[in-house]
Amino acid sequence: MSSTATSGKFDRQALISLDAIRDNVRQFRKVTEPARVMAVVKADAYGHGALPVARAALEAGASWLGVAHISEALVLRDAGIDAPLLAWLHTPDSDFAAAIRAGVDIGISGWELEHVAAAAHEQERPARIHLKIDTGLGRNGCPPDEWEALIGRAQAFQDEGLLRVVGVFSHLAVADEPQRPETDEQIDRFRAAVAAAEDAGLHLEVRHLANTPGALTRPDAHFDLVRIGLGLYGLSPFENQRAEDLKLTPAMTLRTRVANCKKVPVDQGVSYGLHYRTQEPTTLVLVPMGYADGVPRIASGAQVAIRGRRYDVVGRIAMDQFVVDLKSADAGFEPGEEIILFGPGDDAPDATDWAVASGTINYEIVTRISGRVPRAYTGQSPEPAAVPEGAGPAAQTAPSVAAP
């Protein structure tokens, strides 16, 4: 995936505001302190670019980073990011030895423990692990009735010096629907699991349960650390609340330019299958993005913005392009006019509008924007190399310590 500095020239672009990322981190810190914030930057930071987002989040006071895969964590470490970092989804082929060498914390649901202990033995370096309890999501995590046994196995390896249990965590299932009772049950089970670990003599650095919706609605789920993904990108996890209601700023603007614009007669069929026919003589704009760029093929019914006005997507979305109907024979735009598919503010649709048109959630809309769309950034800090010698690491970590 290419990431370039902002320039005026683009055919297709996902423009990421790192200032929005920083503002969103500060907002979560305000809402959740004294708990700390883990910036979840898996899946290339939900399509926003893992490295620039991770750096911006740390600058704004996030103290942890989280990813699904060890391979994602290693990319961050290879780029010189040394913040506490957790990876939680593994297979027996995952490179636990590399995670240990790179100082990446490893989430453990059960079977991984022996693999990690063996890798630690081989590396002659203890692993740092977080034990995951399944409090009700029914996905990853240790079933409650196997929890005591897992604690015992972990403690035995810890006594051998092969690992250190630094955390206990779990994941919420329905926090985006705050009225549902299951979150209460999950919090209760989590408290019990933490108590069991501590009663067994484990000294935990971090207990963590809440994702974005949990952090926003359940102070009793904050514990020591909240794991923030969607909210970091300025998107709302709730059906009935917009980002602005939550004091969050969408970070991504997906934009392109008019590739063609032409007058057509009434009853002009549009795109494969000719499922759309013009109702009157009108003007059609050709948008040079399609499902190869991650625009959902199913999203006819969505809108785009051109010069602050919204127009309907009509006909099938194809691999590389789709069409919008200006619904006027007199309208028209020159090739090159900017088209915004989604972005912050009221002038354009947002990612949630595209999600509704596609029968999916805003998480998927931003994450699926493909590598064919160059990412560009505003608000980028100077490269670490530009920091004067001697002021290096201290100067870089100072803002995260001093931030309000």
Ligand X SMILES: *Cc1c(COP(=O)(O)O)cnc(C)c1O
Which of these segments, 184-192, 227-235, 256-264, 385-393, binds ligand X (CB under 6 A)?
Answer: 227-235
What is the Cα–Cα distance from 122 to 390, expressed in whole angstroms? 36
Using DSSP's 3-state secondary structure scheme, residue 354 falls into: helix
Question: Quick check: 69 binds ligand X (CB under 6 A)?
Answer: no
Question: Quick check: 212 binds ligand X (CB under 6 A)?
Answer: yes
**Residue number with CB closer to ligand X (210 or 326):** 210
User: Do residues 263 and 343 make contact, with C-beta atoms less than 8 angstroms apart?
Assistant: no
User: Do residues 60 and 26 make contact, with C-beta atoms less than 8 angstroms apart?
Assistant: yes
| DSSP β-ladder status, 309-314 and 322-325 | antiparallel
Out of 115, 171, 189, 316, name the contact with ligand X by CB under 6 A: 171
Question: Quick check: 136 binds ligand X (CB under 6 A)?
Answer: no
Q: How far is CA 377 from CA 20, 39, 128, 397, in A?
A: 11, 18, 34, 21
Residue 264: both structure tokens together = 């057509």
Question: Quick check: 227 binds ligand X (CB under 6 A)?
Answer: yes
Q: Which residue is nearest to ligand X (CB)?
A: 229
Q: How far is CA 251 from CA 99, 376, 377, in A?
A: 30, 11, 10
Out of 37, 228, 285, 348, name the contact with ligand X by CB under 6 A: 228
Shortest distance in whole angstroms from residue 303 CB to ligand X: 25
**Residue number with CB closer to ligand X (211 or 300):** 211
139 annotated as a binding-site residue = yes
Out of 15, 230, 261, 304, name the contact with ligand X by CB under 6 A: 230
**Residue number with CB closer to ligand X (180 or 309):** 180
> Which one of 9, 42, 46, 276 is the catalytic residue?
42
What is the Cα–Cα distance from 214 to 190, expressed in whole angstroms? 14
Dihedral Cα 304, 306, 308, 313, nearest 10 deg = -20
**Residue number with CB closer to ligand X (65 or 230):** 230
Beta bridge partners of 127: 163
Shortest distance in whole angstroms from residue 232 CB to ligand X: 7
377 is catalytic: no
User: Do residues 225 and 208 make contact, with C-beta atoms less than 8 angstroms apart?
Assistant: yes
1 annotated as a binding-site residue = no
What is the Cα–Cα distance from 176 to 338, expressed in whole angstroms? 34
247 is catalytic: no
Shortest distance in whole angstroms from residue 150 CB to ligand X: 17
- Positions touching ligand X (CB under 6 A) are 40, 42, 88, 171, 211-212, 227-231, 237
Active site residues per annotation: 42, 272
